A and B are shown apart, each in its own frame.
Chain A
Amino acid sequence: MARWIMLRSDYRHYPTYPHGQLTHLALGFIAACLGAVAVPAIAKPDYVAVTFLVLAAQQFRDIRSMERDTLESLESTKLIRRGNDYIEGIARVFEARNYLTILTALITSAAVQIFSWPYALIAASICIYGSVKLMSGRKVGDIADIIPAQVHFNESLLMVDDVVIMNVGLEQTRNKIEKDGMGVLIKPKNDDARLTLDVPGQRMAIIHDVVSILGSKVDMNEMDLAPMARKQVDKGYLALFLVANEPDIQYLIEIVKRVPVLESAQGTALSSFYGKKAAD
Chain B
Amino acid sequence: MDNGMRDYILAIITTDLSLLQGGGCPVFLAKDATQQNKISMLLARILGANVHDLENGVYLIVKH
Residue ranges of A at the interface with B (Cβ–Cβ < 8 Å): 83, 155-156, 166-173, 200-201, 203-204, 220-224, 226
Contact = CB atoms under 8 A, between A and B. Distances in A.
B1 A169 contact: no
Contact of B60 (A155, A169, A171, A200): A169
Given A221-B45, A222-B45, A223-B64, A173 B51 contact: yes
Q: Which of A169, A201, A204, A224 has the most CB of B within 10 A?
A: A169
Nearest to A156: B53
A223 B45 CA distance: 9
Contacts of A156: 52-53, 55
A168 B1 contact: no
B51 A169 contact: yes
Interface residues of B, number: 20
A168 B48 contact: no
Query: Which 3 A/B pairs are nearest by Cβ-Cβ distance?
Result: A169-B51, A156-B53, A200-B1
Contacts of A171: 37
Interface string B33-64: 00001001100111111111101000110001
Nearest to B41: A170
Contacts of B53: 155-156, 167-169
Interface of B: 1-3, 37, 40-41, 44-53, 55, 59-60, 64
A223 B50 contact: yes
B1 A170 contact: no
A155 B40 CA distance: 18
A29 to B, nearest CB: 38
Contacts of A201: 1
Contact of A223 (B37, B41, B46, B49): B49
B1 A83 contact: yes
B23 to A, nearest CB: 18
A168 B45 contact: no
A82 to B, nearest CB: 12
A170 B37 contact: yes
A225 B45 CA distance: 12
Contact of A200 (B3, B37, B55, B64): B3
A155 B55 contact: yes
